[in-house]
């Protein structure tokens, strides 16, 4: 058994078996991360470049740690401190890096489709670490892994994705993945932050009322308001957003049921999540971060294979 | 096809191996048993069950080790990992590794490597059901052997277990 794709460009290209294979492999890597020596020699002949054209803390560190735990050699590229600032094109940069014999590229770019473009032009395996407002597949995989770990399954779960759906690659990847795995999906938030046809296009429920969304779901995956991607004001103020869509401890306690709160980070405390929710008993936010390393190890491990 | 061990022989062999391990590790003091995933587990489960009939079960420390991530051919063919479960430290313990068939020795090489991630054992020994001698690619020999056989590389040894294959026997297949 192996993955049906050579790259991980998006959840859109994966099938159910691929997702199950990645999650099952991640479970074994999670055990590796509990050992006194948390490192395996699997990818010691593999060189991976982390190509980050956009800021990132969690994802970049998580990938880098995953690569090192697999004994791969790593190279780091951040756009700000490189020749990209001198006007070199993406393809030129990558071809230069590849001529140094790199096997895999982990890339984040603010342009949607940038990794798909690279995949057409270079022989290395590409892992999308977030492209514009398109996809962030490893985040969706680690979200799914965390849900499965916490609740024992994905199929049949009711998952509400709450917040800035319009600008969120995490939301899109999550919707693809959850639908493929048989979960029920709802997107919730202010109408201005939910794309018009998302309901019909992806087969998800749309809800504009936060209380109703929380009442419905088993898991609430809360997204960050992405001010950096909004060219025009889509709601009047952060304070008002918090009043209408911020999740508060009291609301969760009054639901009278179990609920799991997730967030891909970074959190805007006091905007989409109050601190006592983010740090409270409902939250599995730090488990998500922990699982991220195991999931990324699984993805890199499965893509490094060169079986013909 | 040739039968190497019948069901009855296999059961006797498991009993013998358990006793031999106990001979060298009295009461299993300071000793842990580790079965290799995936197929070594069937043998190690049986040996551990046998040990439980002789000594107190709480004296037995039994773990399972998967060596997939330590293979030397990891990039040539994809192997799906199985569960590793070693819920105790092996630091300064004596380890008895258990696998079904010893062939090239590469699995055991990887297992020795993997074992070190859990601490530094004071001693490691190897117990196998079938030793295909003369086909080793690495200098690795078993300490406890169910049966030694001479085979051609083209032949295949199949160990069948009730849970997996509906019957209990060891056979040699010509391909």
Name the pLDDT band for A101 (thresholds 50, 70, 90): confident
Q: What percent of chain A has pLDDT over 70?
A: 96
B63: closest CA of chain A, how far (Å):
13
CA–CA distance, B75 with A125 (Å, rounded to integer): 13
DSSP string of A174-185, one letter each residue: HHHHHHHTT-EE
Closest-approach residue (CA) in chain B for A42: B69
Q: Among B74, B75, B81, select the one facing A28 at the smallest CB separation.
A: B81
* pLDDT over 60 at A308, yes or no: no
The pLDDT score that the predictor gives to residue A5 is: 92
A22 touches chain B (CB under 8 A): no
Q: Which of these, B61, B63, B74, lies nearest to B28 by C-alpha position?
A: B61
Tell me the chain A residues in contact with residue B78 when contact means C-beta distances shorter than 8 Å.
1-2, 302, 305, 307
DSSP string of A225-273, one letter each residue: P-GGG-SS-SSS-HHHHHHHH-B-HHHHHTT-S--EEE--S---BTTTB
Average pLDDT over residues B19-44: 95
CB B155 within 8 A of CB B173: yes
Q: What percent of chain A has pLDDT over 90?
A: 78
Average pLDDT over residues A11-17: 96
CA–CA distance, A206 with A171 (Å, rounded to integer): 13
ipTM attached to this prediction: 0.85
A44 touches chain B (CB under 8 A): no
Contacts of B99 (CB under 8 A, 6+ apart): B35, B36, B39, B40, B43, B107, B108, B111, B126, B127, B128, B129
Give the SS3 label for residue B68: helix
* pLDDT over 70 at A307, yes or no: no
Strand order in the sheet with A205-207: A205-207, A184-188, A158-162, A219-222, A260-262
Answer whether B70 sits within 8 Å of A1, measured CB to CB: no
The pLDDT score that the predictor gives to residue A227 is: 73
Answer whether A28 sits within 8 Å of B66, measured CB to CB: yes
B41: closest CA of chain A, how far (Å):
17
Q: Which of these, A150, A279, A157, A164, lies nearest to A216 by C-alpha position?
A: A157
The pLDDT score that the predictor gives to residue A96 is: 87
Q: Among A38, A40, A306, select the one facing B75 at the smallest CB separation.
A: A306
Tell me the chain A residues in contact with residue B83 when contact means C-beta distances shorter than 8 Å.
27-28, 31
* pLDDT over 80 at A211, yes or no: yes
Most B CBs within 10 A among A32, A297, A304, hence the mutation to make, goes to A32
Answer whether B69 sits within 8 Å of A301, measured CB to CB: yes
The string of pLDDT tens digits covering residues B32-65 is 999 999 999 999 999 999 999 999 999 999 999 9
Return the DSSP state at B39.
T
Compare A305 and A150 and report the one with higher pLDDT. Answer: A150
Q: Among B81, B83, B117, select the one facing A35 at the smallest CB separation.
A: B117
* Domains detected in chain A: 11-135+291-304 (3.40.50.1370), 137-288 (3.40.50.1370)
Name the pLDDT band for A57 (thresholds 50, 70, 90): confident
* pLDDT over 80 at A170, yes or no: yes
Name the pLDDT band for B79 (thresholds 50, 70, 90): confident
Q: Which of these, A263, A274, A170, lies nearest to A219 by C-alpha position?
A: A263
The pLDDT score that the predictor gives to residue A275 is: 94
Strands (E), chain A: 47-52, 73-78, 104-109, 125-131, 158-162, 184-188, 205-207, 219-222, 260-262
* pLDDT over 90 at A212, yes or no: yes
DSSP bridge partners of A74: A48
* Domains detected in chain B: 8-153 (3.40.50.2020)
């Amino acid at each position: 058994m192996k993955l049906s794709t050579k790259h991980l460009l998006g959840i859109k290209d994966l099938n159910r078996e691929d997702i199950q294979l990645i999650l099952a492999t991640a479970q074994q890597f999670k055990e590796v991360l509990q050992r006194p020596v948390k490192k395996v020699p699997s990818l010691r002949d593999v060189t991976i470049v982390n190509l980050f054209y956009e800021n990132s803390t969690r994802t970049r560190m998580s990938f880098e740690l995953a690569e090192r735990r697999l004994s791969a050699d790593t190279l780091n590229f951040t756009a700000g401190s490189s020749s990209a600032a001198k006007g070199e094109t993406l393809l030129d940069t990558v071809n230069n890096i590849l001529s140094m014999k790199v096997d895999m590229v982990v890339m984040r770019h603010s342009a949607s489709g940038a990794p798909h473009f690279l995949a057409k032009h270079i022989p290395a395996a590409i892992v999308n670490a977030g492209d514009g407002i398109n996809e962030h597949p490893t985040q969706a995989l680690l979200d799914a892994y965390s849900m499965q770990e916490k609740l024992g399954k994905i199929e049949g779960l009711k998952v509400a994705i709450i917040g800035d759906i319009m600008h969120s690659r995490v939301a899109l990847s999550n919707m693809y993945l959850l639908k493929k795995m048989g979960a029920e999906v709802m997107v919730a938030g202010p109408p201005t932050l939910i794309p018009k046809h998302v309901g019909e296009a992806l087969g998800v429920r749309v809800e504009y009322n936060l209380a109703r969304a929380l009442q419905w779901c088993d898991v609430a995956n809360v997204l960050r308001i992405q001010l950096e991607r909004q060219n025009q004001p889509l709601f009047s103020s952060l304070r008002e957003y918090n009043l209408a869509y911020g999740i508060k401890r009291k609301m969760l306690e009054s639901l009278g049921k179990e609920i799991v709160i997730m967030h891909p980070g970074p959190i805007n405390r006091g905007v989409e999540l109050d601190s006592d929710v983010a740090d409270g008993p409902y939250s599995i936010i730090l488990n998500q971060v922990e699982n991220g390393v195991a999931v990324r190890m699984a993805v890199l491990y499965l893509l490094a294979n060169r079986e013909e | 096809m040739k039968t190497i061990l019948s069901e009855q022989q296999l059961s006797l062999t498991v009993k013998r191996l358990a006793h031999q391990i106990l001979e060298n590790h009295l009461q299993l003091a300071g000793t842990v048993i580790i079965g290799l995933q995936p197929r070594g587990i069937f043998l190690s489960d049986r040996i551990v069950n046998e040990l439980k009939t002789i000594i107190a079960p709480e004296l037995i420390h039994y773990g399972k080790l998967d060596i997939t991530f330590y293979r030397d051919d990891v990039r040539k063919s994809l192997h799906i990992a199985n569960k590793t479960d070693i819920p105790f430290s092996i630091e300064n313990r004596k380890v008895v590794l258990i696998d079904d068939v010893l062939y090239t020795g590469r699995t055991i090489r990887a297992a020795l490597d993997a074992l070190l991630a859990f601490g530094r054992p004071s001693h490691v020994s190897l117990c196998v059901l079938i030793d295909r001698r003369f086909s080793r690619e690495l200098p690795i020999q078993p300490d406890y052997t169910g049966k030694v056989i001479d085979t051609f590389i083209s032949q295949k040894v199949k160990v069948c277990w009730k849970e997996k294959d509906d019957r209990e026997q060891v056979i040699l297949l010509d391909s």
